[in-house]
Structures are given as structure tokens and as C-alpha cells.
Structure 1
Amino acid sequence: MLWNSTLLPAEGFQAPPELPMHDHEAAPAGLPPEALLLDVRSYSEFMSGHVEGARCLPLPRLMEDIVHLVPDPSLPIVLYCSSGTRAEQALRQLRRMGYLHVSNGGTPQHLAGRLGRAVQRGM
């Protein structure tokens, strides 16, 4: 959002505080090659466009199926969804389950751009 400073009172104005950095803002930069990209949206959302190389594990199935997909809790995992919200929920669940290197990658477009990968449709 752009502000027109002429509309703001000069005295007493303070810039808004810096927002805290979320995991998805720092995670992909140093992404280990063995990191699993995990799309926590529904299967139909995944098919409509996902990061190249990602796997689909919808959030409602996460706690039940993650132990089969990723039995090693030290494996790096980058989660993403359409807005980053479900990925954040998944991140909290996985950390409670003992997964050590989990991060929120944000949206498919954002993550694909940061990784230099394509957003694919279908399989």
C-alpha cells in the first residue's frame, strides 16, 4: 500500500512496527536439495497448479499420513498452500509431532519463483 505523506499529520506520526518474519520468508533461500516440497491443499487445488517436484498431502490427512510419507523427522520439509495459512497450520502440527526442519513456503507461485521452478498443472 502506498501512502501519500501529505495527508498524514507531521507531528506524532510513527511508522508502523516491523512485522515479525515468518518461516516462509527465510526458508527457501538455503533449501537443501533433499527437502520435500509438500502442498497441503486439496488434490483438486494441487492439480490446478503446483510447484514442480512437490507432493500433495491435504491438511486434513497430514497427521495421519505424514509418518508414511516422511518417516524421518529430521528431513527438511517446505510446506505451501494457496495463501500460506494452511501451511502455517501444518507447520505447527508437524513441529508438535517432532519434525525438526519444517518451514512455510507461502503460495505455489511465490515458492516456485524463489526456487526457480515452474508451476505445473496436472501430474
Structure 2
Amino acid sequence: MNIKQLITAALIASAAFATQAAPQKPVSAAQTAQHSAVWIDVRSEQEFSEGHLHNAVNIPVDQIVRRIYEAAPDKDTPVNLYCRSGRRAEAALQELKKAGYTNVANHGGYEDLLKKGMK
């Protein structure tokens, strides 16, 4: 092997090691969903003020159809709903589906989301 081939091999080997990504911290599915969709807390304003997910918008369930455009004007936007137990979120989900929203999910209760790593 001549010097040129040796240098080329060394450069290729060093490039392979240099491009390896640093280990990444695992991200839960719930955390991924939190950053790629609209989160709506359908509890009352009082409940929302006592604690809510960081990027959540408060639209009480009885106002969901009237105010959904504030958070998700596009009916294909991923919309994640939660409340205290999941019951009001389910009612909101049904209303949004009737209104033509196609990508809506009920994520249950606020405390359960916190236990899953949501913030």
C-alpha cells in the first residue's frame, strides 16, 4: 500500500468515526406528540389556571366548536384533547368530528399525562 492509499484510508476511517451521532435521550410517544400537534385543555378556565400542559390552549368543552379555529383553523391539523378524566375530552372529540375535524385524539386526564412525562 503506498502512502496515498494509506492517507485516503485514514481519512475515510476518521470521517466514519466523526459522523457517528451522539447518543440521544429517548423521547416518549407522548412527548413527541406534544410538540407536533395542537393541545387543547377542555377543562374550565379555573381548572386550567390551576395547572396545564406547557403549550396547551384552554377551550372549555362547551365552547369547543365555536372556538376551535383559534387553535386549529385547518381541519386536518392534529388536535390532542385532554381534561380531568377524559370524559369531557371525549365529548369535545365527538363534536369536533361532527364539525369536520379529521385528526382528533382524546388523551384522557391531565394527571395521567403528567405521569407519562408530559409537561
Deviation at 1:32, TM superposition (A): 6.7
1:57 maps to 59
Deviations 1:42-84 (A, max 9, x none): 1000011112211100011111111232110111111001111
SS at 2:108 equivalent: coil
2:109 maps to 107
Question: How large is the Cα RMSD of the aligned pairs?
Answer: 1.9
Does the CA-based 8 Å contact 1:78-1:104 persist in structure 2? yes
- When the two structures are aligned, how many residues end up with a matched partner? 91
CA distance in 2, matches of 1:44, 1:29: 25
TM-score, normalising length from structure 2?
A: 0.68
Deviation at 1:41, TM superposition (A): 0.5
SS at 1:33 equivalent: helix
CA distance in 2, matches of 1:32, 1:84: 17
More helix by share: 2
Deviation at 1:111, TM superposition (A): 1.6
Match of 2:87 among 85, 88, 101: 85
Larger-gyration structure (1/2)? 2
Structure 2: gaps spanning 5 or more residues: 1-28
Structure 1: gaps spanning 5 or more residues: 1-26, 119-123
1:94 maps to 96
SS at 2:76 equivalent: coil
SS at 2:48 equivalent: helix
Letter in 2 for 1:107: G
